[in-house]
Chain A
Amino acid sequence: MGNVTAFIAGLLFAVGLALAGMTQPAKIIGFLDFFGRWDPSLMAVMAGAIAAHVFFARRALRVERPLFAERFDLTPLRHLDARLIAGSAIFGVGWGISGLCPGPALVALVARTPTTVAFAAAMVAAIAVYRAVLGDPAAA
């Protein structure tokens, strides 16, 4: 049953990303272009997503455990560190170059745009190499 709900969540996530315009790199570049013609639509996406998740997640976490798993698996990490800042800063550069982040890049694979496919392949390869060399970052 857990696999079914995870599948539904993935499906819904992709539909949301595509409807929101996140699979159009120009929209992301427009949002990040604070010094040019700023496109606020990503603000609306984040506001909608956070509003929905805040509303539901607060209630969801009040129960003892999830419906189809033994426990809530949330990160134990609490403190700010150089790794978090450096990693996020690096990610932002790649996001700004391409207008793509991991979710939309995978959802947009179906369109077979050469740059999107190349981006996604490089991203997955980098994640694989990172984990093979340094292990699971969540376990750190």
Chain B
Amino acid sequence: MTLSDLVLPAIGGVLIGTAATVLLMMNGRVAGISGIVGGLLTEQKGQRGWLGSFLGGLLLGGVAMYLVRPSAFTVEYAPSLPLAIVAGLIVGVGTQLGNGCTSGHGVCGISRFSTRSIVATITFIATGAITVALMRSLR
């Protein structure tokens, strides 16, 4: 790990922050992915347009990056299939209960200096770290 290994992550981060800014300035919305997915799954009048457009852009952006930079999708770590399903269920429930995930709390909320988001982010990094440590000791 050298300093240059941090340049691309930082540039990616700036793009993420810029994307969140576009959505806030233009649409007045928070770029929280778990909230956007939830919004699309709930009947909300007049919201379907921007929600669907954002998600469409997100999926298409993935396709574009997969074409130009497939190495960005390398999977060197993967849990077993049943464990992946359990993790997905846990993430789905947790993000709804806690009103956000890495994007909504970790980027957007922290940028607005929201106490809730700062506490949420510290909490999920802490339980994530404990989980990784436990998983490693079980292997």
Contact = CB atoms under 8 A, between A and B. Distances in A.
B24 A6 contact: no
24 contacts: A2-B50, A8-B57, A10-B19, A12-B61, A16-B15, A16-B18, A18-B65, A19-B9, A20-B13, A49-B14, A72-B24, A78-B115, A86-B97, A91-B95, A92-B94, A92-B130, A93-B90, A93-B94, A97-B90, A110-B63, A124-B41, A136-B39, A138-B35, A138-B99
- Counting contact residues on chain B (CB < 8 A from A), the size range is 35 or more
Interface string B106-125: 11101110011001110111
Main secondary structure of the interface of B (DSSP, over half): helix
Interface residues of A, number: 116
Interface string B32-67: 011101110110100001111111111111111110
Main secondary structure of the interface of A (DSSP, over half): helix
A59 B18 CA distance: 13
Interface of A: 1-26, 29, 32-36, 39-42, 44-54, 56-57, 60-61, 65-75, 77-80, 83-103, 105-111, 113-116, 118-128, 130-131, 134-138
A13 B16 contact: yes
Interface of B: 1, 5-31, 33-35, 37-39, 41-42, 44, 49-66, 69-70, 72-81, 83-103, 105-108, 110-112, 115-116, 119-121, 123-133, 135-136
B12 A68 contact: no
A15 B61 contact: yes
Given A18-B62, A26-B77, A85-B98, 10 more contacts: A9-B20, A13-B19, A17-B16, A51-B17, A69-B27, A91-B94, A94-B87, A106-B59, A122-B84, A127-B37
B98 A90 contact: yes
B31 A9 contact: yes
